[in-house]
Structure 1
Amino acid sequence: MSCTQPPPLPTDSDAPPTFQGWHLFDSSSDHWKPLQPSTTSTTRDERTMQSSTGTKSEPPALTLVTWNVDAFAKFPDDRMAGIISTIRNQTPPPNILFFQEVSRAALKSLFDNPWIRENWYFSEGNFKNWGGYAFATVMLLSKAAFSTEEQDTDKICIGPVWRVKYPSKFDRDALCCDVFLPPSATRVRLINVHLDSLALQPSRRPRQLAIVADSLRLAGHGVVAGDFNPILPEDDGLVAANSLVDIWSDLHPDEPGFTWGIDGREPFPPGRLDKVAVHGLKGQQIDILHPGALESSRRGLLLQNLDPPLPWSDHSGLKCCLRLAEEPV
């Protein structure tokens, strides 16, 4: 199976895909540049057969961090730096990052971050996908775990990346990517979502998640993660209704797992707005990454006057370790 082959996609007329490219930071030009696809003509399946020694190796784990970083709070650079610092200190380190509500200022902060530049492939290289909107979603893949070269059989091969413009009151989309796990080049679809907000009726969230779930089933294996915004009572059953497995509910059925509103700053009760749901994968571990607060010394009097201190985001992040399910679902 070649990592550059066209991905199997749903044929929904109301959810067209728009393909984009991966980006890599080029230190010689000091810019993020589009990645060129691999030009090798040998598929990974052929290479696996050629080099097989009869030893069956286990596909690598996918370790994902997803975080709604809050597009509207002050000091986006400092808040983004706090989130990145927490991610860097995780053990094991994540190899996939999903961010939602990334403002232009937060995106520039990511573009300029030395650790991001050195260690990650980026779904974005400029502000093109923001259009006239205040924020969007982004995806990053670790260079330590992923490669764009099909001959690099020890790493996960990066496939195409695209956005799906599903029906949305806020012009939201799903950011999608296919990756191929060694040794058998198993396709796994990664989908980063920020489903529609608020308790508006009729809700677009059921249709949005149904489109995403169909896409995961077509791929055979995959994960959708991000801000699901389950505001209405019927939202709580959407993951199961689409035959997906909610990793938090699966591994921590007796714990609320709140990712929003836990600090009492919001006028609404706490909620588990952020989720990780899978098809054909199994969760080994999932943890909540609570935001810290900005230190007043970083911004002097401006931050000293904030009471209570400003958290990095109004959401907590999630870290989840995933592997292929033993039997395809």
Structure 2
Amino acid sequence: MNNLHRLFRRMTTKASSPPLGVPLKPRQESELGRNLDPKFRIITWNVDAGAHFSDSRLEAIVSHILSLKPVADIIFFQEVSKPALLHLLKDTRIRESWFSTEADTTNWRGHIFATMMLVSKARFRPSNESMPVSALGPVWRVKFPSRFGRDALCSDIFVSPSSTDNSSQISRLRLINVHLDSLALEPSRRPKQLSITAEMLREAGKGLIAGDFNPVLPEDNTLVADNGLLDAWTKIHDSEPGFTWGVDGKQAFPPGRLDKIAMLGLQPHEIEVMHPGVIEKEEFGVGQVPWSDHSGLRCTFEF
């Protein structure tokens, strides 16, 4: 997995984004391929580190994601436990077909869980000339002001919108995976956290923030719009609830649309909620165990 990690050029914990306006290296420019499929597909899922069998549940989620057609290009996970990460990194399907931002648990830094990204080799492999993306940029983490040690996991990718290798036509797309602070504690840190990430998108010009936004206070309902971002769900589905948590009625709180995809300079085409299935654990006397307490989101978008 170390080879996969090296393809994401660096991992830092600096509280700032990489410098802008840096020209691509000649090799990167020549690797940018023809734009035959302008659409990208992202899946985001909070995989619930708190429940038992985190490795088996994540394996079931991954199996479901990999069975979907068309396949995803980008996967965001939140609440990945250390055992679940180590189990995932041994998965032959992941090792052969996906690049990972994480090679080990270094970025967990004493926490029970953290975020991670996977990107498809089929879409992002540098030698691929049938897709527009062939240059993976830097990966870094930005520490949030947070009660829970949360951060933003960020990466840039470079996209050629034409069949030429003219570097002036190369676009940067910034991807930010978030798990904003939990609970209805006041003053809330979520407004500042989303403001930080929205500013990072504006620096890059276009991109998305996806993950668990934890909107549990009234002020959270307008945070995406207040930061000049487009909520992919409301753009496509308007006032449909789109609940991603509490849909089984077993939680202590009402259902909520806790998970979101917020965009800048991108056009969402489709977005759907993917409700979790179950794994069978009869041998442990617990019967069926849901994959997660969250549902996932699957979104198709383009520039």
TM-score by length of 1: 0.80
Q: Are residues 1:187 and 2:187 paired?
A: no
- How many Å separate the matches in 2 of 1:199 and 1:59? 42
Do 1:61 and 1:321's aligned partners in 2 also have CA atoms closer than 8 Å?
Answer: yes
Alignment of 1:1-329 (within 5 A): 23-25=2-4, 34-35=6-7, 41-42=25-26, 57=35, 60-148=38-126, 154-182=132-160, 183=162, 184-296=169-281, 300-302=282-284, 304-306=285-287, 309-324=288-303
- How many Å separate the matches in 1 of 2:3 and 2:215? 35
- Assess, with a 3 A threshold, how the Cα gap between structure 1 residues 175 and 292 changes in structure 2: closer, same or farther: same
Deviations 1:99-135 (A, max 9, x none): 0000001101210111111101110101110111100
Work out the number of aligned pairs and report it: 282
Calculate percent identity across the aligned residue pairs.
Answer: 49
Equivalent AA in structure 2 for residue 265 of structure 1: K
- How many Å separate the matches in 1 of 2:74 and 2:131? 19
Do 1:24 and 1:120's aligned partners in 2 also have CA atoms closer than 8 Å?
Answer: no
- How many Å separate the matches in 1 of 2:153 and 2:146? 14
- Assess, with a 3 A threshold, how the Cα gap between structure 1 residues 34 and 235 changes in structure 2: closer, same or farther: same
- Assess, with a 3 A threshold, how the Cα gap between structure 1 residues 165 and 321 changes in structure 2: closer, same or farther: same
- How many Å separate the matches in 2 of 1:217 and 1:100? 23
- Assess, with a 3 A threshold, how the Cα gap between structure 1 residues 46 and 86 changes in structure 2: closer, same or farther: closer
- How many Å separate the matches in 1 of 2:205 and 2:64? 32
- How many Å separate the matches in 2 of 1:78 and 1:47? 38
* Secondary structure, counterpart of 2:239 in structure 1: coil
* Secondary structure, counterpart of 1:60 in structure 2: coil
Gaps of 5+ in 1: 1-21, 26-32, 325-329
- Assess, with a 3 A threshold, how the Cα gap between structure 1 residues 36 and 279 changes in structure 2: closer, same or farther: closer
Equivalent AA in structure 2 for residue 61 of structure 1: K
- Greater CA radius of gyration, 1 or 2? 1
- How many Å separate the matches in 1 of 2:150 and 2:63? 28
Do 1:44 and 1:153's aligned partners in 2 also have CA atoms closer than 8 Å?
Answer: no
- How many Å separate the matches in 2 of 1:235 and 1:23? 39
Equivalent AA in structure 2 for residue 320 of structure 1: C
Equivalent AA in structure 1 for residue 207 of structure 2: G
* Secondary structure, counterpart of 1:322 in structure 2: strand
Deviations 1:227-279 (A, max 9, x none): 00000011000000000000001100131000000001211000000000100
- How many Å separate the matches in 2 of 1:23 and 1:159? 17
Deviations 1:27-56 (A, max 9, x none): xxxxxx53385xx951655787xx9xxxx9
Equivalent AA in structure 2 for residue 132 of structure 1: G
- Assess, with a 3 A threshold, how the Cα gap between structure 1 residues 36 and 44 changes in structure 2: closer, same or farther: closer
Do 1:60 and 1:181's aligned partners in 2 also have CA atoms closer than 8 Å?
Answer: no
Gaps of 5+ in 2: 10-23, 163-168
Choose between structure 1 and 2: higher helix proportion. 2
- How many Å separate the matches in 1 of 2:240 and 2:221? 15
Do 1:119 and 1:143's aligned partners in 2 also have CA atoms closer than 8 Å?
Answer: yes
